[in-house]
Amino acid sequence: MKVFFEQYFDFNVMGEHFGEVFEAFLQNLLIFAVATVVALAWGLILALLRQSPGKKFLPIRFLTIAYIDVFRAIPLLIVILLISGGVPFLTFLPKSIRIPQWFGEPDPYWYGVTGLVLVYGAYTAEVYRAGIEAVAGGQMEAARSLGMSHFQAMRYVIVPQGVTKIPAPMLNELISLLKDTTLVSVIAFGESVLVSREILAERLNSSALILTAFFFLCITLPMARLVDYLIKRNQAKITRGAHIEVA
């Protein structure tokens, strides 16, 4: 037991490398912040395209559904590896896109962000779709009767109501996204897991990995409790509404 604690809970190792691991963890948070904003926007676009009405939009709906199905089926790790290994060789693209160095971040950072956006855009699209479909059908009919087009009704009536129904499941997706930022380590980006593994190789001690896990716990546990609170609040609203209908 003593050997176990020395291997995983050596506070001397944690103290010596705290700043190094924390700085690398900030890179995880930076990836998370950028990928979250873009994935939420991309997911909403996909959800709206999937809800496009009429036969003329059938090809768009088909392509959107195919995209969502494919990127929900392929492991994120494979997507990141394919992007980092393939995009640099797409010579028809400008070098600034093939090997991006935007805002001072190296290309592995942007390959990781791109992979996260492609995959989590598909997941968030399904969350948005669930919220949109939870809105009563009469809302669309009422909006159309007022002279709104389908897209105006979606923008001003359906989507604002649908978004209020999905905070809990969306937060669950964002928790997963935060944890999956560690996968960017496979393309040699210096985030917390890669740095912790380098410390492990140098010191033959896994305490830096425990330190990294602690940093993630500090973020994900409050988010998980917020999800629980939102679920309970929503259940309470449903219960109150049921009591009112019965009365």
Q: Give per-residue pLDDT as tens, 95-120.
A: 999 999 999 999 999 999 999 999 99
Q: Residue 3 — very low, low, confident or very high, per pLDDT cuts 50/70/90?
A: confident
- Confidence at 240, pLDDT banded by 50, 70, 90: low
Contact indicator for 39, 112 with CB cutoff of 8 Å: no
CATH number at residue 201: 1.10.3720.10
CA distances from 150 to 57, 98, 139, 141, 162 (A): 12, 38, 11, 10, 15
* Statement: residue 243 has pLDDT above 60: no
> Is-contact 88 98, C-beta < 8 A?
yes
> Of the candidates 36, 50, 51, 242, which has an alpha carbon nearest to the alpha carbon of residue 157?
51
pLDDT at 137 over 80: no
Span 179-196, average pLDDT:
95
Would you state the structure tokens that stand for residue 5, as one six-digit string? 């604690």
164 confidence band (pLDDT: 50, 70, 90):
confident
> Mean pLDDT across the stretch 222-237?
83
Query: For the residues 170-194, what does the mean pLDDT come to?
Result: 95
Give the largest CA-CA distance in the chain: 74
Tokens of 237: 């609203």
How far is 143 from 147, CA to CA, in rounded Å?
7
pLDDT over 90 (residue 167)? no
> H-type helices in the chain, by residue range?
2-8, 11-50, 58-73, 76-86, 95-98, 107-133, 137-145, 150-153, 159-163, 167-180, 192-203, 207-246
The DSSP call for residue 136 is -
Of the pLDDT bands very low, low, confident and very high (cuts 50, 70, 90), residue 237 is low
Which tokens hold the place of 56? 């003329």
What tens digit of pLDDT does each residue of 23-72 get? 999 999 999 999 999 999 999 999 999 988 878 889 999 999 999 999 99
What pLDDT was estimated at residue 212?
96
| Position with higher pLDDT, 216 vs 1 | 216
| Residues with Cβ within 8 Å of residue 95, at least 6 apart in sequence | none
Q: What's the average model confidence in pLDDT over 145-155?
A: 85
Across the chain, mean pLDDT equals 90
Provide mean pLDDT across the span 212-232. Answer: 91
| Residue-level pLDDT at 144 | 83
pLDDT above 60 (res 161): yes
- C-alpha separations of 182 from 53, 77, 235, 239 in Å: 39, 10, 34, 40
Domains contained in the chain, number: 1
Give the range of the structural domain holding residue 146, as residue numbers without chain letter.
2-246
pLDDT of residue 234: 72
Model confidence at 246: pLDDT above 70: no
